[in-house]
Amino acid sequence: MNLHCTILCSLILLLSLAQGREFTDSQGRKIEAEIVGYSGDTVIINRAGTEFPVPITTFSLDDQQYISEWIDENPEAVRYKFGYYVDLEKSSISQQDAPGGAYEDKLKIIPYNYEMIIYNKGVAPAKDIEIRYEIYIDDFVDVRGNRFTRLAYGVEKNAKLQTIAGSIKDLTIPANGRHDFERTFNTEFYIDRDGGKTDQAATDKVIGIRIRVYSGKKVIAEFEDGENDTKLSTITWQDETPSEGVGPTVN
């Protein structure tokens, strides 16, 4: 008897969940639907097998209270879906074009630019998010105290990790929208001119980039792209408080 009661109660619960709830909008119109997710101030409802994003303020005050309680009880139901594109471009420069005499050693700069795009592939806007990124570089050319000059004399080339970080705060990406941004940065290489022969003694190398998307303090998405995938896999996220330095942004 208890077993039959348990099964019957479970079936009744499943039927009630499948039927959803009768919601009322601010104009008094009614709809039978089920809440399946949320994003920012938008709730995602399922009606007859089709999902719709609806601003929470569209509903009656009683339904808004119900939705608020549902969100509090279902924090895992937040809906985000992102796509990513990154492109690393190196400025054209050659050892031969670098200024300096035939016997003059020179520290040179190579400008790079990372173009980054984040796509919101969700059915609701991604509101009040923060994008943080970290660019990782094998820093072989140590400019402190002109230490790079020793590279011309066969000193062992040991790299230290250099991290260039940035963030974009209080960002909203509409459903099926995108956000474009970029970061320009410099690396160094050291030219050793010996008896008219030009040698590249050491060159900084870009390892790759990692992007995180935050909602408040929670990481809701992460992406990485490596110029050296093996090396990138060994690097952990470096800085929880990145600088604000970013290039031009286009919405």
Per-residue pLDDT of the chain (251 residues; tens, 9 = 90+): 454 444 444 433 333 444 578 999 888 999 999 999 888 788 999 988 888 889 999 999 999 999 999 988 988 788 888 999 999 999 766 555 555 544 455 778 889 999 999 999 988 888 889 999 999 999 988 776 666 666 656 666 778 899 999 999 999 999 899 999 999 999 988 877 665 555 666 789 999 999 999 988 888 899 999 999 999 999 999 976 544 433 333 33
Q: Is 79 within 8 Å of 124 (Cβ atoms)?
A: yes
Domain ranges of the chain: 19-77, 82-250
Cα–Cα distance for residue pair 20/50, rounded to 1 Å: 13
- Residue 167, CA distances (Å) to 132, 211, 224, 243 in order: 4, 10, 15, 7
Residue type, 231: K
Task: Reply yes or no on domain 19-77 having CATH 2.30.30.700.
Answer: yes
> Which long-range CB contacts under 8 A does 102-105 form with residues at least 24 apart?
102/193, 102/196, 103/193, 103/194, 103/195, 103/196, 104/193, 105/149, 105/152, 105/190, 105/191, 105/192, 105/193
pTM: 0.70
